[in-house]
Structure 1
């Protein structure tokens, strides 16, 4: 698989998650306060809730339903009730295009 355009960089608003779908995979794209673009699985591992409806603070995305926060860098949950990570996807920026390959996930550290 190869990276696909999911949105324009100019479509992203700082700290406002944007839900996109690539090959049926829901992904939350976030432009954080430092200007970095992140892409993580959009489904909370605790309650099957869309993370793109949640809240961004620093480099975390918090599920609005039960409060689990996930690292935008690693996908790891930072608090309960979630204990399983979400996938983190490699993001490429080409001009104003945000590209994501749903088969290219970042290794967890």
Structure 2
């Protein structure tokens, strides 16, 4: 069962923003949308691009390296139906962003 880990502060992640955080060697991309904060594996499934550095519009992030796109809520690729980024449950506790890391 995954444990929740404080990875960032809500005050560090502005509305519409993204950030990359590392926890025990794992890279997680955090995205703050109108309906919450979402966390996905921060390394693109294609060739390892940094997803948190990509443009996120309408809940879809575009990898800055080769343009692969993923829904940040589900991790599903919008262009390659068999590809999915791992997603992580997020809870907000005051100003802390807690992420369930397996």
Report the TM-score, using the length of structure 2 for normalisation.
0.90
Uncovered stretches (5+) of structure 1, i.e. residues with no partner: 104-109
Structure 1 CA distance for aligned equivalents of residues 82 and 17 of structure 2: 24
CA-based RMSD: 1.5
Quote the residue 1:91 is aligned against.
Answer: 90
Higher strand share: 2
Instruction: Report how far residue 96 of structure 1 moved.
Output: 0.6
Report the TM-score, using the length of structure 1 for normalisation.
0.85
Quote the residue 2:23 is aligned against.
Answer: 22
Write out the 4+ residue segments of structure 1 that deviate beyond 3 Å after TM superposition: none
CA contact (8 A) 1:27 1:40 kept: yes
Quote the residue 1:107 is aligned against.
Answer: none
Uncovered stretches (5+) of structure 2, i.e. residues with no partner: none
How many residue pairs end up in the alignment? 101
